[in-house]
Structure 1
């Protein structure tokens, strides 16, 4: 399957358990959802929606052109509502199965919120909802599902690593308060200022200014700053990158099908089965009467 094929098949997901035994109206809805013409139409409307949102930023409030673009938004809302209805039909009007797909939940929320009564009075909210419709382009990009799965897998280890970073930053902030509170109160006057200063060091934003301030204030300033930059910025950040890369590799392995762990497990089961069969053969040979 080429890149373009992945592009077209990734945009609208139909429940995998749907089979040809479904009613004819449901099969026709599935065919529509999986057709390339329908995909092109959906993408075109999303792009049109993005263009209208961008064009509105150049127009003044109350101008006739802005009013035209706002009126044009309602046919777009109706189209997305009809598209959602077609996909709901493809799922056999089964809400549980339809909402099991997170993208369907997202699309439903966007369409429903845009059609709520009195929403036109909340201009900022309405424009934010229009912007969310543009985000639907993510679902038609290749490998987005894999990236999202990689991020999901990275949440738990990244959270643990973030807890370690927060604890280390707190300890370092207390140490900085003890060393530099009197000399550089704007940097380490209290725990809050100290952690904010360390956060700047962690991002390497203006770290040389902090280094010079602390070095002028105390002979420990140079070693304090360098130690934190090396430990927190280079070592810990590389750990975070490593966690994300590992999670993405696991996600790609899962998409390809059988993972390395599954292969090892199957081989072990095969070894056990072979040993069992060999024992049965040996047992039959011992019990076979001699000719």
Structure 2
């Protein structure tokens, strides 16, 4: 029985079927936003319920396939994500919390992120980059703090619309960081004193050209590490459970041949 379950779980068709189910859930989410399909809401609800049942069956099969070492199922980050989505989907949100229930359905579609190895690598890259991103974010926050206070004291009198308070100054700096309309923001300040251009140029050079490029460099480095890990996985694809499963299959074939020979 367990051998059959493991065989089903390892079949490429099983993974493809789950992908189709996820796409169906995505289609239902789209149809729910179209007013014409409001009258079919109960039918769409039934499809979403069916999708959840498929998810539960899939998780049950994978957990059963990991017998007797059930903890191996939860050692996989993707399995933890899938299991968490199922648990959240089973929480009965009603009344004013029905919107939360609909938003939880969006989580079901996030499972598309691990349907292929390439997409898994991209997600792993983002996750592995988070610690480095935190340090870059702290550096950027310090930069914003210094320049927003300096901008408030330098330009609040000449351009209160952009620099009249600390929150406004921070929003203005964020606009400058995106390089969108920063010339118009700079114009009143440089009109009052041409030397103020040093403030804007220095912020763009440090914030956009240096800090943001460091951020990109971190993503690229983590991406290279993730692809190297994928290459290692491709070189050594077989896990212990898979090897044991193959050995059992070979033994079955040998037993079948022996029984035929004895006949």
Work out whether the TM-score is over 0.5: yes
Point out the structure with max Rg over C-alpha.
Answer: 1
Matching residue within 54, 63, 82 for 2:30: 54
TM-score by length of 1: 0.72
Structure 1's 40 and 158: CA in aligned 2 closer, same or farther, altered over 3 A?
A: closer
User: Does residue 94 of structure 2 align to residue 151 of structure 1?
Assistant: no
Matched, 1:76 2:30: no
Corresponding residue for 1:202? 177
How far did residue 230 of structure 1 move? 2.0
Cα drift, residue 145 of structure 1: 2.8
Distance (Å, rounded) in 2 between the aligned partners of 1:131 and 1:159: 26
Structure 1 residues 85 and 248 mapped into 2: Cα distance closer, same or farther (>3 Å)? same
CA distance, structure 1, for counterparts of residue 201 and residue 150 of structure 2: 14
Residue by residue, what CA displacement relative to the aligned partner does 1:141-175 show, whole Å, maximum 9, x if unpaired?
23233223322332233222222222122222222
Whole-Å Cα distance in 2 between the matches of residues 236 and 102 of structure 1?
31
**Farther off after superposition, 83-92 or 216-225:** 216-225
Aligned position for 2:67? 92
Query: In the TM superposition, what is the alpha-carbon distance from 1:123 to its structure 2 partner?
Result: 2.4
TM-score by length of 2: 0.79
Deviation at 1:47, TM superposition (A): 1.4
Aligned counterparts of 2:132 and 2:48: Cα–Cα separation in 1? 43
How far off is 1:126 after superposition? 1.9
User: Partner residue of 1:278?
Assistant: none
Cα RMSD after superposing both structures: 2.2
The 1-side partners of 2:152 and 2:105 are apart by 48
Structure 1 unmatched runs, 5+: 1-24, 259-291
Of Structure 1 and Structure 2, the greater helix share is in 2
- Structure 1 position 37 matched with structure 2 position 37: no
Runs of 5+ consecutive residues of structure 2 not aligned to the other structure: 234-263
Q: Answer with 31-40 or 139-148: which moved more.
A: 139-148
Deviation at 1:120, TM superposition (A): 5.0
Aligned length: 232
Q: What is the alpha-carbon distance in structure 1 between the residues aligned to residue 120 and residue 20 of structure 2?
A: 22
CA distance in 1, matches of 2:73, 2:161: 55
Say if 1:74 and 1:105 are closer, same or farther in 2 by CA, change over 3 A: same
Partner of 2:117: 142
Label 1:147 to 1:64 Cα distance change in 2 as closer, same or farther (>3 A): closer
